[in-house]
Amino acid sequence: MTSGNATLLNRTLQSIAECELPSTFLGIFVIENGLDGTCAEACGRRYGTLNVRYQFSPGMDKCHAFSVAIQELPDKSLIVFSDDNIRFGSQTLMAYQRASQKNSERFFGGPFGCDYEQEPIPWIIPYLPLSAVGWNPDPETLDPQSDRFAAFNWAAFGRDLKRFGGFGPGIESKSLTRDPGYHQEMRNRMRAAGMVGQYVPGGKVYHFVPSNQCSVAWTVQRARRSGIYRGVARREQTIPEIGLHHWSNSVRLLASTAMKWLSSPIPASRIHFRAQYRQQCSLGYFIGFRQLPTESARRAA
């Protein structure tokens, strides 16, 4: 999936061309959504022996774009989801093929690292989302039911994606308590039907993280978004649980606002950052809890 980022898409396609490809490899299906199809030229270039198909879907509805594309793919094919800011490892696709041959009734996901445009400040790393720090768990201790697969590195068979309704209209709005929405919702449906996710250690990719998506300002902004998702999730809990979360977030909001004011003379300090971060988390929580889900989603975007 891409949206007008031809430069990074070219990088992704080149990395796949340098992979060892399974004997059953059919090709790459690039879906571009947005206002205009600016990536058609990049997809028309030659990338070794790769068969690159391109489809433009007008508008910003990713769910619709995915669903249309999936219907054109064979039921028996294993579909590996990626994005235009991903670099594949040389053995990534081979690892997915081996795993799927042994377990055809599962869905799959692999680890990922990060390619930083500029290394983030070390002390900010614990506050960054998983997509900006990487995920490489120990297979021996990983709980197979803890689905932490990234939207840009998981795989499922075409027949299962179709069987569970594809990425139909509205699937994103049903997943406001999780980020990133529609991929998670699809895997939730699969697990509800008895399917199990399998971790593929060799299926590693690398997520490109631009400098403006691991900065102090961006991390503070992201904190509010995370808080909104938490707030939406709490709406479904019992009244005593809601009361406890309201109380703890109120205390945190008051304390962080006071600390933000006290540390304002040193705006570049860790103390000031932590105060801003905690304040935005709590503000986001109340926004998410009080607003309608659709409005919360718009605020989080």
- Residue boundaries of the structural domains of the chain: 6-210, 215-300
Give the least confident one: 52-56, 91-95, 109-113: 52-56
Q: Which residue has the tokens 């809890």?
A: 289
Assess whether pLDDT exceeds 90 at residue 227: yes
CB neighbour list of residue 49: distance below 8 Å, 6 or more residues apart: 17, 21
Whole-angstrom distance, CA of residue 77 vs CA of residue 45: 25
Whole-angstrom distance, CA of residue 249 vs CA of residue 212: 28
Render pLDDT for 5-53 as a digit per residue (tens, 0 to 9).
Answer: 889 999 999 999 999 999 999 999 998 887 677 888 889 888 988 999 9
For residue 229, the model assigns a pLDDT of 87
More confident residue, 229 or 145: 229
Whole-angstrom distance, CA of residue 76 vs CA of residue 280: 46
For residue 1, the model assigns a pLDDT of 67
For residue 168, the model assigns a pLDDT of 57
- When pLDDT is averaged across residues 276-300 and rounded to a whole number, the result is 77
Q: Measuring CA to CA, which residue among 46, 68, 45, 71 is closest to residue 55?
A: 68
Confidence class of residue 3 from pLDDT cuts 50, 70 and 90? confident
Render pLDDT for 116-153 as a digit per residue (tens, 0 to 9).
Answer: 999 999 999 999 999 999 999 998 888 867 778 999 99
Whole-angstrom distance, CA of residue 296 vs CA of residue 179: 13
Q: Measuring CA to CA, which residue among 51, 217, 233 is closest to residue 127?
A: 217
Whole-angstrom distance, CA of residue 176 vs CA of residue 185: 10
CATH 3.90.550.10 fits 6-210, yes or no: yes
pTM of the model: 0.86
